Amino acid sequence: MGDAESLRPASGVRYAVELASFADGRAVYRGAVHLPAVSWPLEVVVDAERAEGRVEGPDEVQAHAKAAAALVKAAAKLPRAPGSGPPPRRVVRWRS
């Protein structure tokens, strides 16, 4: 997905994740939360009922886990219609 430095925004935050697995209506995405000065590992697990994000970083970046989970859930559009294939392989969103 490119190196962390090239994905860091000049301002705001960039969420960048890739589909790690998809089975039984549950998608696991892994990637990072990119801030202008630093990037933190991110994992989002999403299914038809809920989405949960987890950032490996200090308490002050934990709010990004919830935002990332909401963005990925919207992009994944779970549950998927029969025959529609897997959710998106990659989700990248920038927020100010």
The yes-or-no verdict on residue 21 having pLDDT over 90 is: yes
Please state the domain count of the chain. 1
- Over the stretch 54-67, which tens digit does the pLDDT of each residue have? 999 998 889 999 99
pLDDT reported for residue 86: 82
7 DSSP assignment? H
pLDDT tens digit string along 73-95? 999 888 777 777 789 999 999 99
Nearest to 94 by CA among 5, 9, 1, 2: 9
Within-domain flag for 94: no
Task: Identify the pLDDT of residue 30.
Answer: 97
Pairing of strands 90-95, 13-23: antiparallel
Mean pLDDT across the chain, nearest whole number?
A: 89
Instruction: Decide if 42 is inside a domain.
Output: yes
Structural domain range at position 39: 4-78
Residue 55 in domain? yes
